[in-house]
Amino acid sequence: LKRRVRKMHCINLTYFVWTFSRAGVVVPDFMRFVGDYLCDSGKIPMCDRCSLATMIWNFSKCGVRHDRFFECSAVELLRPNRLRSLAPRNFQNSMIAYSRMSHWHEKY
């Protein structure tokens, strides 16, 4: 499965992970691999507003900590064009996920 992740578009990957998260199927190693892949490959900016918020929610729902993914996502969420594009539900879901994970970084 990990070999195929690199062949998936980040939006498809988000909803693939969502199917597991929604069902309560938690595979921490796979979640960390996905987070590392998104950060290392620079794919986070390629996510649309819904998929970015959903991937953040996925980590929160599964209770899998990935500080680097949350920090990279925060950088993306703070870009003015991205921030203006967020629907209220995207902003809300992201903030709830950050809160649930008790993720705090002074810079972001």
Tens digits of per-residue pLDDT, 31-78? 999 999 999 999 999 999 999 999 999 999 999 999 999 999 999 999
Q: How many CA atoms lie within 13 A of 41 on its CB side?
A: 16
pLDDT of residue 2: 82
pTM for the whole structure: 0.90
- Tell whether the model's pLDDT for residue 13 goes beyond 80: yes
pLDDT of residue 52: 96
Percentages of the chain per state (helix, strand, coil), in multiples of 5 = 75, 0, 25
Kindly calculate the radius of gyration of the chain based on its CA atoms and give it in whole angstroms.
Answer: 13
pLDDT of residue 74: 93
**3-state secondary structure at position 55:** helix
- Tell whether the model's pLDDT for residue 105 goes beyond 80: no
DSSP 105: -
